[in-house]
Amino acid sequence: MTRLHHRLVLASMILAMTAFGTSGCTAGGPTWVDDGASYTMTSVEAVLDAADISKQSSRATTAATKLRHDALTSLRRQGDSAAKAADLLTATFPPETRAVPVYVESASLDGKPVFIVVEATGPKTGTLNMKRLWVLGEDGSVILARSR
């Protein structure tokens, strides 16, 4: 990928996250993006860096199950594709998962359709102050996982 192409992908991703972060999502729910973006294994990691977990970062991890449920319910209200992503997350991860989706995107990775998910997560006793990135195939297969 050329340096210019990488910058264009990153710039378009940040613009999309900003636009959808301020409109198009319900209060408290994750940002939903479905604009046909295409990533590579290298460029998709920029989504993790750009995602904002500040609304969840001071919340206790013990509240994650309810917050996760609320986030997935909110995601289902954002259209058919978003509902498909919420259903996939529900089927792939147990309900007691100690993480809350804050950003969910339908995109392609190296030409294959995927869902990109950034969650706020944290230690068993603590707050949701860490980020986790999942790139999931349409069947729920984990293509990439990263955390910070």
Q: Which residues contact 92 (CB under 8 A, 6 or more apart)?
A: 136, 140, 142
Longest dimension (CA), the chain: 44
Cβ neighbours around 54 below 10 Å, total:
9
Average pLDDT, the chain: 87
- Is the pLDDT at 58 greater than 50? The verdict is yes
CA distance 111 to 90: 25
Domain ranges of the chain: 3-147
pLDDT in tens, 76-133: 999 999 999 999 999 999 989 999 999 999 999 999 999 999 999 999 999 999 999 9
**What is the percent of the chain where pLDDT is above 70?**
81
The answer to whether the predicted template modeling score (pTM) of the entire model surpasses 0.75 is yes
